[in-house]
């Protein structure tokens, strides 16, 4: 323990909330659990979805996955599609464009990923923007559901946006 006081170590560990963007509980509103995860590789996605499902036991597991890099998406398309087997619904916005060539960008799209997830037996939808995704989620999420935002890009914004929308909705539910 490198000379540290054991009681101090235990106190610190008891309040440690985990690492940001790694199965991070963003909040619970209106009975809907919202989690954010940095997973952007098929193996990480599968492991995170399994752990989130076990931890929260949702009635339905909704995933918003923003693919990161066109080249990775194209090369691992089948593995990505299979990794969403535990999700009840997967919503996919445009691929987060970084470091790829314009030719690589033209070679694959989020629509391709949605088609592959469906071919693997999953329920997947392409929605171009985070605002479109938030509209669908606001209309379709129910108490008992868990929403997970996943990816290395800016998809965490959907989790924040949904918590704000759900809180506003809860505030106006009685009025």
Please give the model's pTM, rounded to 2 decimal places.
0.87
CA 77 vs. chain centroid, Å, equals 17
19-172: CATH topology is: 3.90.190
Domain residue spans of the chain: 19-172
pLDDT for position 18: 63
How far is C-alpha 94 from the geometric centre of its chain's CA atoms?
14
Nearest-angstrom CA–CA distance, 171 and 175 = 8
Q: What is the pLDDT of residue 5?
A: 83
| DSSP state at residue 156 | H
pLDDT in tens, the chain (175 residues): 578 888 877 777 776 666 666 689 999 999 999 999 999 999 999 999 999 999 999 999 999 999 999 999 999 999 999 999 999 999 999 999 888 899 999 999 999 999 999 999 999 999 999 999 999 999 999 999 999 999 999 999 999 999 999 988 777 655 4
Query: 3-state DSSP call for residue 65?
Result: strand
Report the pLDDT value the prediction gives residue 175, as an integer from 0 to 100.
45
34: helix, coil or strand? Answer: strand
Predicted confidence at residue 100, as pLDDT, reads 86
């Amino acid at each position: 323990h490198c000379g540290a006081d054991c009681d101090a170590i235990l106190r610190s560990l008891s309040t440690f909330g985990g690492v940001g963007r790694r199965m991070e509980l963003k909040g619970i509103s209106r009975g809907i659990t919202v989690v954010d995860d940095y997973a952007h590789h098929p193996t990480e996605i599968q492991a995170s979805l399994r752990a989130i499902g076990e931890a929260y036991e949702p009635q339905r597991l909704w995933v918003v996955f923003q693919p990161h890099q066109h080249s990775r998406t194209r090369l691992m398309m089948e593995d990505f599609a299979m990794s969403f087997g535990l999700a009840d619904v997967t919503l996919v916005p445009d691929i987060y464009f970084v470091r790829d060539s314009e030719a690589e960008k033209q070679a694959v799209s989020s629509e391709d990923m949605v088609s592959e997830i469906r071919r693997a037996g999953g329920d997947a939808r392409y929605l171009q923007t985070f605002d479109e995704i938030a509209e669908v989620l606001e209309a379709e999420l129910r108490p008992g559901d868990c929403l997970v935002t996943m990816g290395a890009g800016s998809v965490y914004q959907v989790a924040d946006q949904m918590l704000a929308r759900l809180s506003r909705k809860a505030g106006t539910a009685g009025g």
